[in-house]
Structure 1
Amino acid sequence: MNRFKGWLRAFWPEPMAVGRGEQLLSCVGALLGLLISGWIARQALGNAGLWLVAPMGACAVLLFAVPSSPLAQPWSVFGGNLIAALVGVACAQWLGHGLVAAGIAVAAAMVAMFVLRCLHPPGGAIALTAVLGGEEVAQLGYAFALYPVSLNSLGLLTIALLFNNAFRRRYPHRAMAPDSPRKTRDLPPRDRLGFTAADLDEVLQARGELLDIAREDLADILRQTEERAYRRRFGEVRCADIMSRDVLCLHPETSRAEAWARMQAHRLTAMPVVNQARQLQGMLYLHDLLRTGEAGQVREAMQTGVLTCAPQWPTIRLVQRLSSGEVHKVPVLDEDGVLLGIVTQTDLVAALYRRSLETGPAAPSTEA
């Protein structure tokens, strides 16, 4: 009986982990996308009756409610809709407009979308529309794939690009970039004890089903979950608590020869570069000096794309970055970009060691 109740509970939807603001934003985006793309199609097609097809409603849900989904990316939307329309029209012309033709059209469209890596659920509805859409669709023939399908798709995509990026949603969605390739066969330090990309690939392959999330995004979610579990167990240590505050700095106009001498004197491998207001301008690394030589000013050799952090950040947020092997020092900035200090790998290791001493070893498991 309990098993039957559990089976029945599976039909009850789980709560969505989406804020009210995000839900409202998705609805407004879908409304604007359909209104504007429909208006564009109507202007382009004039008095033609078919200027907006129903499957575009499903496209709008994907583009504005789940823009990070692999099924909602530009190639999936445009390519999937176009290919499904072509397949559907071909099936309608060769097999007629019956139930068998409709089923074959959807199945064949899915095969084509899988092969061309543009799986898009509304594409199945478009293939179905091409077969069962009536006389108006039949008269268009293969032109149905160009208008309204391609025209609608391009219109929705254009609005999605503008709308999502205007509200700081990454679209097209780009997964987190992996660390730079290492020149040895060793795994990155952070992966030597935790799960690896190979572990994740094996689990996904064993499941054998399509997940509506990018592999890199899934890995990032799992790592953030590990970070939260660590913070719950060991507590919070802020960057401001462990950063070095007496930081030696350079100015952009400092000569590289002087920078080299100061690095050698203090045995430093990198120094922050700040302006007169002590706002961070970049970082000068020893290997950049070795590569460019001592002639010229610091501004000509410093790196400006520098990873930074805020004083209130928990140090666990820096573990992945400082354990990747690519970053060794992270400047700590206030809201105005003023340099407050620097967190180094040594600072982080010392803090984690101290915290482990204070919390003590984990209690042994009592599970059988």
Structure 2
Amino acid sequence: MKVDGRERLRVVLGACIGLLITAGLSEWLMPHGGGVPWLVAPLGASAVLVFGVPASPLAQPWAVVAGNAASALVGIACVHVLGAWPEVAAAVAVALAIGLMFLLRCLHPPGGAAALLMVLAGVKDWSFAAEPVLLNSCLMVAAGMVYNTLTGRRYPHPQGAMPPAAPVATPAPDPAGSLFSEADLDAVLARYNQVLDVPRDDLRDILNEAGLMASRRRITTLRCADVMSGDPKAVEWGTPLQDAWALLREHRIKALPVIDRARRVVGIVTLHDFMREASLDLHEDWPTRLRRLLTPSPLTHSTKPEVVGQIMTRQVRVVSADRPLAELVPLFAATGHHHIPVVGPEARLVGILTQSDLVAALARMDAL
């Protein structure tokens, strides 16, 4: 696991200080004599968890205290029952300790070492599980609470409830900004069916952050050419209004790029342009006004527009096909653009990008 130098130093100093406090207080509190050690070896492994991964379910106070003490009792019991067969006693002690820790919901890897230590040392005194094992564990937890809090780490770290064995029928609404629901996470954890050394809330936050970073990365790699509508319908300056209107209606589109003979964009004509010229904001008899606008004049000179070039919008924004799609999001959002022609080599028209194309691209990325 990669962490920076500051976090490494925090863990190293924490383990040193925690063991120093635990050892010093244990030696002071325990009665002298009798050859009873004031510190047990599994506490070294407990220190790694308490100070190195304080968010882990395996490092929480109940896991440390109950896991070590209960495992020590199991080891002592195996010495009493199977002491004549130390190899068997060692294996059985570790296995039973793991089973008991599962039962008590206090799984703690150093607990297995505590059970094994009792067998290897031939410990038969039941009080050994209290002093020094239980005492050591309590002092280690207390030191971890103080040190982790002072250095900006939550300890104890709240642990989410384990996922139910049965799938959840109705997912709860997703929290704001979440890529998945709590029910989704519960269902996946239930199928995974393994002990995770990561608390549920941290796992959820990590997955959400990774998903958001992936979405941001995908949108930065997309180009206009990836999502634009290719081979767009277009008209020329001299295209009759009737023909342009027919294209708009036939293909159910709202804008047509206006191009010259080299397919360079010289303007754009939209439904709004037709409505403006036909004064469709005046509701009375608007079909007649629209029909009059679209009907070609039989005269050589006309007082109304006859071709696209006379009503088109000349100031048209275009974008290159290789422009990053992310740069167009604020353009659509802030400027009111709904259609943007896309140009390729030599500024020739190659496609058109609409708000619908942009929304569809974002929706596909969210679904990945």
TM-score if structure 2 supplies the norm length? 0.55
- In the alignment, what sits opposite 1:151? 135
Q: Do residues 26 (structure 1) and 11 (structure 2) align?
A: yes
Match of residue 271 from structure 1 = none
Is it true that 1:90 corresponds to 2:74 in the alignment? no
Distance 1:359 1:21, change over 3 A: farther
Within 5 Å, which residues of 2 pair with 1:1-368?
A: 16-48=1-33, 49=35, 50-96=37-83, 98-134=86-122, 137-138=123-124, 141-174=125-158, 187-190=172-175, 194-233=179-218, 354=333, 357=355, 360=358, 361-362=360-361
Quote the offset at 1:123 in angstroms.
Answer: 0.3
Q: Equivalents in 2 of 1:53, 1:186: separation in Å? A: 47
Letter in 2 for 1:362: A
Unaligned regions of 5+ residues in structure 2, if any? 162-169, 221-328, 335-353
Structure 1 residues 123 and 175, CA gap change in structure 2 (3 angstroms)? closer
- Whole-Å separation in 2 of the counterparts to 1:163 and 1:51: 22
SS at match of 1:35: helix
Contact 1:176 1:217 in 2 (8 A): no
Aligned amino acid, residue 354 of structure 1: A
Report the CA distance between 1:132 and its aligned residue. Answer: 1.0
- Distance in 1 (CA, whole Å) between partners of 2:126 and 2:98 is 18
SS where residue 154 of structure 2 aligns?
coil
| Residues 91 and 104 in structure 1, CA contact (< 8 A), matched pair in contact too | yes
CA RMSD of aligned residues (A): 3.1
1:92-115 deviation per Cα after TM superposition (whole angstroms, max 9, x unaligned): 111116110111111111111001
Largest Rg, 1 or 2 = 2
- Structure 1 residues 144-180: Cα deviation after superposition (integer angstroms, max 9, x where no partner): 1100001100111111011000011000012589xxx
Per-residue CA deviations over 1:31-57 (Å, capped at 9, x if unaligned) read 111111001111112434410010000
SS for the counterpart of 1:206 is helix
Quote the offset at 1:187 in angstroms: 3.3
* Residues 113, 119 of structure 1: 8 Å contact kept: yes
CA apart distance, 1:216: 2.4
Unaligned runs of 5+ in 1: 1-15, 178-184, 236-349
* Matches of 1:352 and 1:165, distance apart in 2: 46
CA deviation after TM superposition for structure 1 residue 226, in Å: 2.2
1:124 positional shift: 0.3
Q: Could you report, residue by residue, the CA deviation over 1:122-147 in whole angstroms, capped at 9, with x for unpaired residues?
A: 0000001111114xx33xx1101100
Work out whether residues 83 and 109 of structure 1, in 8 Å CA contact, stay in contact via their aligned partners in 2: yes
Counterpart Cα distance in 2 of 1:65 and 1:133: 28
The Cα of 1:204 is off from its aligned counterpart by: 2.1
The 3 A distance-change label for structure 1 pair 150 and 353 is farther
Matched residue SS, 2:361: coil
The one-letter code sitting in structure 1 at the alignment partner of 2:110 is P
Aligned residue identity for 2:142: T
Structure-1-length-normalised TM-score = 0.55
Moved segments of 4+, more than 6 Å:
350-353
SS at the partner of 2:153? coil
1:276 paired residue number = none
Asked if the contact 1:234–1:359 (Cα under 8 Å) also holds between the matched residues in 2, the reply is: no
Q: Distance in 1 between matches of 2:22 and 2:3?
A: 26
Q: Would the alpha carbon gap of residues 51 and 208 (structure 1) be closer, same or farther in structure 2, given more than 3 Å must change?
A: same
Distance 1:155 1:64 in 2: 13
Distance 2:357 2:68 in 1: 56
Give, in whole Å, the separation in 2 of the partners of 1:91 and 1:63: 28
CA contact (8 A) 1:87 1:127 kept: yes
Distance between the aligned counterparts of 1:167 and 1:214, measured in 2? 19
Residues 270-292 of structure 1: CA deviation (Å, up to 9, x unaligned) = xxxxxxxxxxxxxxxxxxxxxxx
Identify the residue that residue 285 of structure 2 maps to in structure 1: none
Give me the identity figure in percent.
46
How many residues are treated as equivalent by the alignment? 225
**What amino acid sits opposite 1:109 in the alignment?**
A
SS of the counterpart of 1:362?
helix
Contact 1:176 1:220 in 2 (8 A): no
